[in-house]
């Protein structure tokens, strides 16, 4: 097979007319005629609608005037809402003065749109493409970009109703390298959604599936990669779009369970994750735990210790009280020590409570004379108490700990939380644990979980194995 045959055998990458060639580069959403209701009344202008990233994400209408300044008089007029109409798109929206500058008789104006603008409201589509901000790549399959370049840049998922395709943009690697060194925001991926049965849909059907994708990406990467500026298509023709503003954070790439993990294992987590997310009883606590997990991965050591314990106790409460009904009232769950609540959850998720082999400093730490922590849950709850409680004894014990011990407690709490979120997603296969907990952790096809140090290249193609519980 020659190069052309190979290229033609690959699926085409998901594309749209929007892209960021360099980090923080504005994207043009519309260029043409609009009616701007200025100080002296409505005036037809040639405008450009752009999505800008800095100093904060905003959609701006930009145009130029000559002669007298379009906005003059009392400065308070600049804070008044301005009506903007685009007849060719059939939209009318409110904007406010955003910025501007003058050079002689030439004046340039920027009007910030005040809310999301929906174009062709109510129209149906056969597929929709969202643009993903600042997403770490975890692709699996080869794709062919519009330029003819080929790369590993696709991973696909399915729910009962939706086919989900996540593609890199052509210059994802260059964008990520720039983001890593300089920060900022860029479109690094595109997500295409379509119905499994090929039927059309409208935008009202998108809220849950879009939220599911955002939460799954957040769990995989440890940071929020917002879905923004969706464009709906019927075949290859645009039928609907939304100019919205998502306050995606600047670039962050924390170490998570999926780091360096082959895509087939990440993909194996999705079905159970989607099922848990879609469960009415589980959606709120599950998404809350994901949010706290992301905050843990991007916060301070102390923040992580506090929030990881909060998430573990929340999940334990739901498993044993709200869903399972095993423990109820003051005589049950509420009378347990926090460490016992976490032990119950870890037992359910097949996670050892003993200290991992590399957490030696925390395991050997002595307090109150010659006492040591009984196990991991005991350590993380006691350290959390020292952070949140004002008693002098707890403060003194916390003060005896150096940064190494606190970091180990932080990573141990995150390790437990990752194990439980993966277990709740029905996944008990291998994943990458932080170096403080061991190079590789696996609960696959064993009665007891084990720590391993195998290279991922030596791993068999294990499917998720373990308790198949709701």
Q: What does the block give as tokens for 140?
A: 């699996």
Where is pLDDT greater, at 8 or 220?
220
pLDDT tens profile 318-376: 998 888 666 655 457 778 899 999 999 999 888 888 888 778 889 998 887 788 999 99
Q: What does the block give as tokens for 413?
A: 């709490």
CB 228 within 8 A of CB 402: no
Residue 78 clears pLDDT 70, i.e. is over it: no
pLDDT tens profile 259-289: 878 888 899 999 999 999 999 999 999 999 9
Answer positive or negative: Cα dihedral of 391, 397, 403, 406.
negative
pLDDT tens profile 407-458: 899 999 999 999 999 999 999 887 766 545 554 455 543 334 433 333 333 3
Q: What does the block give as tokens for 59?
A: 């959609």
pLDDT for 218: 96
pLDDT for 436: 54
Residue 10 clears pLDDT 80, i.e. is over it: yes
Average pLDDT for the chain: 85
R_g of the chain computed on alpha carbons: 26
Where is pLDDT greater, at 38 or 436?
38
Q: What contacts 24+ positions apart, CB below 8 Å, involve 164-167?
A: 164/191, 164/192, 164/193, 164/209, 164/213, 165/14, 165/191, 165/192, 165/193, 166/132, 166/139, 166/190, 166/191, 166/213, 167/13, 167/14, 167/139, 167/143, 167/191, 167/192
**Residue 362 CB burial class (10 angstroms; 0-12, 13-18, ≥19):** buried
CB 43 within 8 A of CB 36: yes
Please name every residue paired with 414 in a beta bridge, in sequence order, or none if there are none.
none
Phi-psi region of 163 (alpha: psi -120 to 50; beta: other; left: phi over 0): beta
C-alpha 172/C-alpha 188 separation (Å) is: 5
Question: From the centroid of its chain, how far is CA 5?
Answer: 37
C-alpha 57/C-alpha 265 separation (Å) is: 34
Please name every residue paired with 61 in a beta bridge, in sequence order, or none if there are none.
49, 111
- pLDDT over 70 percentage in the chain: 86
pLDDT for 455: 34
Residue 391 clears pLDDT 80, i.e. is over it: no
Where is pLDDT greater, at 292 or 459?
292
pLDDT tens profile 102-145: 666 667 889 999 999 999 998 999 999 999 999 998 888 999 99
pLDDT for 326: 65
C-alpha 98/C-alpha 328 separation (Å) is: 56
Domain boundaries, the chain: 27-115, 120-243, 275-458
CB 140 within 8 A of CB 152: yes
pLDDT tens profile 283-334: 999 999 999 999 999 999 999 999 999 999 999 999 988 886 666 554 577 7
Domain 27-115: which CATH class? mainly beta
């Amino acid at each position: 097979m020659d190069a052309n045959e190979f290229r033609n055998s690959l699926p085409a990458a998901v594309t749209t007319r929007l892209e960021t060639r360099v980090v923080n580069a504005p994207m043009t959403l519309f260029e043409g005629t609009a009616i701007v209701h200025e100080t002296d009344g409505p005036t037809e202008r040639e405008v450009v609608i752009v999505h800008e990233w800095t100093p904060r994400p905003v959609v701006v209408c930009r145009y130029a005037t000559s002669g007298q300044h379009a906005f003059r008089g009392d400065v308070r007029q600049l804070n008044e809402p301005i009506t903007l109409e685009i007849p060719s798109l059939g939209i009318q929206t409110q904007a406010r003065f955003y910025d501007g500058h003058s050079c002689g008789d030439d004046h340039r104006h920027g009007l910030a749109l005040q809310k999301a603008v929906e174009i062709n409201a109510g129209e149906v589509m056969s597929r929709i493409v969202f643009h993903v901000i600042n997403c770490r790549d975890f692709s699996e399959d080869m794709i062919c970009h519009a330029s003819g370049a080929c790369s590993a840049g696709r991973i696909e998922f399915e729910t009962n109703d939706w086919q989900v395709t996540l593609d890199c943009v052509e210059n994802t690697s260059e964008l990520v390298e720039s983001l890593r060194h300089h920060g900022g925001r860029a479109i690094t991926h595109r997500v295409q959604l379509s119905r499994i049965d090929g039927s059309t849909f409208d935008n009202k059907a998108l809220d849950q599936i879009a939220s599911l994708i955002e939460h799954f990406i957040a769990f995989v990467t440890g940071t929020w990669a917002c879905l923004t500026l969706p464009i709906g298509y019927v075949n290859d023709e645009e039928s609907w779009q939304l100019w919205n503003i998502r306050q995606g954070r600047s670039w962050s790439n924390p170490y998570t369970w999926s780091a360096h993990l082959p895509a087939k294992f990440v993909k194996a987590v999705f079905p159970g994750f989607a099922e848990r997310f879609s469960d009415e009883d589980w959606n709120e606590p599950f998404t809350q735990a994901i949010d706290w997990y992301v905050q843990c991965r991007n916060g301070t050591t102390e923040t992580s210790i506090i929030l990881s314990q909060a998430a573990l106790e929340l999940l334990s409460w739901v498993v044993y009280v709200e869903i399972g009904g095993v423990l109820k009232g003051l005589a049950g769950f509420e009378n347990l020590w926090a460490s016992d609540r976490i032990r119950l959850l870890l037992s359910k998720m097949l996670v050892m409570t003993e200290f991992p082999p590399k957490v030696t400093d925390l395991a050997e730490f002595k307090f109150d004379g010659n006492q040591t922590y009984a196990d991991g849950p005991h350590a993380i709850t006691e350290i959390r108490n020292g952070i949140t409680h004002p008693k002098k004894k707890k403060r003194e014990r916390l003060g005896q700990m150096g940064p190494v011990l606190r970091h180990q407690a932080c990573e141990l709490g995150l390790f437990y939380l990752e194990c439980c979120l993966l277990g709740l997603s029905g996944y008990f296969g291998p994943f990458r644990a932080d170096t403080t907990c061991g190079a590789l952790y696996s609960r696959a096809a064993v009665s007891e979980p084990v720590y391993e140090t195998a290279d991922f290249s030596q791993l068999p193609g294990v499917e998720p194995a373990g308790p198949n519980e709701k």
